[in-house]
Amino acid sequence: MIKIAVDAMGSDHSPKVEVDGALDAAAEYGVPIVLVGHKDKLRPLLAQRDMTGLSVDVEHASEAVTMDDSPTTAFRRKKDSSINVAAQLMRDGKVSGVVSAGNTGAVMATAKFVVGALPVVDRPALSTVLPTQKGRPAILLDVGANVDCKPHHLEQFAIMGDIYSRTIFGIRRPRVGLLSIGEEDTKGNELTKEVFKSLKRAPINFIGNVEGRDIFKGEVDVIVCDGFTGNVVLKLSEGLYETFIEMLRHELKQTLTAKLGSIFAHNAFQQFKRRLDYSEYGGAPLLGIKGITIVCHGRSNSNAIKNAVRVANEFCKHNVNHAIELEFNKLGLTKAAKAN
């Protein structure tokens, strides 16, 4: 029986968006939910909603990690934090997955320390989903779980990303690309050149190097990079989007014709925003950890939480971890194999 824990205390608008999103998910997908957070804050919100037919429990956690807490102190000092309690529920087999919109570093550290990586995986990777011109999302990993990577780490990321794309997005042979600074295999740094060779041999649809500008075009389904690069890409994209929207908003107020134009183009702008809406894609799964942990944006709305629960549910249903273990064993990518 799949059951998903939702950390209700993490986001900028907690716990309202978490409660709403979790309940919407329970209603829409029929997945049982455990809301983890301070019961005095959760009960009044639950009382406002119609809970008929929904399986929703509350697990009390007296503390909450803030965005300012450092990952390790959060984990060590706040023993009864909602994210810690949620991770413990998963460790003890009481839930199959965890969704949190809290402090990303703290969520990752807690998942690693409390739940642990799959035995075959060296380094878990945080993967995110980006909108593309073609309308289909592209997976980028790692976006921040590992700032320094060895070639075999990236090889593992590629295999995990491939499995993620196949099982969750239903693409039979996802196009996997290696993020570099030129298409030719001779371009890049020592890390990417080494990875290029091993991905060429890997049983995936490896299309070679891709450049930063290719990410959003929709011609590649899985983009592999180290966590340092991935995080820069992610933050740059978010920043560019926000800046672009602000600049556009500013310019559209400058003259009367621009104002009129913006009224006529209102639907187009709404549609544009909808296409770039991160909330449809359901957060960033931490691949390679036991169970499944999905990290959502701190600014998540209830739709983002709902979709993260959906993705967590699908991860469990399709047994993605089992697929990762099978594939790693088959390819001899496991830690044990490398030791020999």
Partner 1 sequence: MDIKKAFVFPGQGSQYPGMGKDLYNKYPTARRVFDEADEALGFLLSKLCFEGTDEDLQLTENTQPAILTTSVAAFRVLEEKGCLPDFVAGHSLGEYSALVAAGSLNLRDAVVLVRQRGKYMQEAVPVGVGAMAALLGLESERALAVCAQAAGNQIVSAANLNSSSQVVIAGHREAVERAMALAKEAGAKRAILLAVSAPFHCVLLQPAADRLKNDIDVCAFADLRFPLITNVDAKPIETADAARNSLERQVTMPVRWQESVQWMLDQKVRTFVEAGPGKVLLGLIRTADKSVGMFNAEDEKSLENAFSGLHNQQFA
The site for partner 1 (CB under 8 A) is made up of 134-136, 169-175, 205, 221
The full DSSP string for 309-325 is HHHHHHHHHTTHHHHHH
Nearest distance in Å: CB 203, partner 1: 14
DSSP symbol at 224: E
The token pair that represents 287 in the structure block: 């691949």
Q: Which of 171, 331 has the CB closer to partner 1?
A: 171
- Cβ of 213: how many Cβ atoms within 10 Å? 7
Nearest distance in Å: CB 216, partner 1: 15
Nearest distance in Å: CB 276, partner 1: 14
Nearest distance in Å: CB 137, partner 1: 9
Is residue 92 exposed (0-12), middle (13-18) or buried (19+ Cβ within 10 Å)? exposed
Q: Which residues neighbour 77 within 8 Å (Cβ) at sequence distance 6 or greater? A: none
Q: Is the link from the previous residue into 15 a cis peptide, with omega within 30 of 0?
A: yes
- Residues 258/264/265/268 CA torsion (nearest 10 deg): 170
Nearest distance in Å: CB 55, partner 1: 23
Q: Phi, psi at residue 222, to the nearest 5°?
A: -130, 125
Q: Which of 136, 330 has the CB closer to partner 1?
A: 136
**Amino acid symbol at 116:** G
